[in-house]
Structure 1
């Protein structure tokens, strides 16, 4: 199976990995800015999001990302990952550290990190709504939790659209025998310069993860955005564009 993707611009490659609340459309504000700064920008839809369906059988998403990059002739690249996309970026960087020149993680998740009571309560509420068939309610729950106070109505509607599509794709594939291959990243293998961005209005889990990563990754820097929720690249796009341009330069 091929991950749905697009490519914009020329120059050093940057791969954008979206949050699992969204799909690759969440990077619309960043693509033009990074391409104008001289980058070849690749973005893709993760499994069950956007244009990428849920596969059948065992499926290794990190290995499939590597195959996609091979097909594009990209040997080295910077990775930008948001939330669940950051978790995949860490797995990829740990498996292929020589390939990753830089790592920018926005409110990243981390496999194995125990969830806070707030996150566990959210998961339980979302599951209850979906089991009751209230997909619209589950979508609203996500929009309300993951966007900070800077998000305007258009941003909230975009996230609502992306999350609803993801639920529709994933619920339609409930009977598909999908077995994801996941590995805990060996963080000691990651040597690339790393930017860790968190939002003051986000759940505490993601700041805890960033502080943990800042303590174990040798070239990591943590930036907390006092105005941000969980999706700062959508909430204040130009502020995040400036952060990414400066870091990638």
Structure 2
């Protein structure tokens, strides 16, 4: 069964649900929205999971926040609304940081964690990441939104990304920036990156062509989490699930079946 549940439901987040079996929650990068999982969606459903994907506030079909909020609490509320007591979680970049917060605050609800270039909570920013953030902020302040979009596409996609993938990321990032610039209050709070309490087995994935901050974070997560391993993809940039969708889907299914 496949359905779309609008944001007028008991959750604040637009989301899709499909399939039967153990729950699997997909959390997107802030460069994208829930459409980033389109290439894996059917594969994961066919692998026997009840797959849920959502848009964080201000992304995709979810409106910008109209009050103070935390993304992890939005995710918890979504799980409650869907009657899901426990789930495996796949998180990309910022979505990986949210996945870590959910697993730390409600460890009994997370059965496994797959973290694709999770946001770097554990290391000081390198010059490369600091320069990107400074340049992106300058472009936004100058109302050069199209240039900011192109900066994100160039930074976050690796050499395997084809023209269609770049166009997809360009579309998602432009929408997120437009929503963000139209919103007057309640900017996104950072995820709580305390790792204490996490019990789930974890796979920390990095891409060799990604910025060093994310590569270092994956190594640190594998060292600090009690049941984790690190795998680096030699071909990947920051968004491997979009760069080689089938290969990443196989990696995720293999890990999740191993955990099960």
Question: TM-score, with normalisation over the residues of structure 1?
Answer: 0.96
Alignment check: 8 A CA contact 2:23 2:84 kept: yes
Within the candidate set 224, 231, 248, 1:240 is matched to 248
Across the two proteins, how many residue pairs are aligned to each other? Answer: 247
**Mean Cα deviation higher: 127-136 or 106-115:** 106-115
Report what 2:6 is aligned to.
Answer: none
Q: Confirm or deny that 1:134 pairs with 2:134.
A: no
- Is 1:40 matched with 2:50? yes
How far residue 183 of structure 1 moved from its aligned partner, in angstroms, is 5.7
Determine the structure 2 residue equivalent to 1:191.
Answer: 199
- What SS does structure 1 have at the residue aligned with 2:20? coil
C-alpha distance in structure 2 between counterparts of 1:180 and 1:138, whole Å: 18
Report 1:100-249 matches (<5 A). 100-111=110-121, 113-173=123-183, 175=184, 177-178=185-186, 184-249=192-257
Could you state the TM-score of these two structures normalised by the residue count of structure 2?
A: 0.92
Structure 1 segments of 4+ aligned residues over 3 angstroms from their partners: 110-113, 179-183
Moved more, 104-113 or 63-72: 104-113
Indicate the RMSD between aligned Cα atoms, in angstroms. Answer: 1.3
What stretches of structure 1 of length at least 5 have no aligned partner?
none
Seen in structure 2, the aligned counterparts of structure 1 residues 205 and 166 have a Cα distance that, compared at 3 Å, is same
Residue 8 of structure 2 corresponds to which residue in structure 1?
Answer: none
* Cα displacement (A) at 1:218: 1.2
How far does residue 57 in structure 1 lie from its aligned partner after superposition? Answer: 2.2
Q: Is the Cα–Cα contact under 8 Å of residues 116 and 205 in structure 2 kept in the other structure?
A: yes
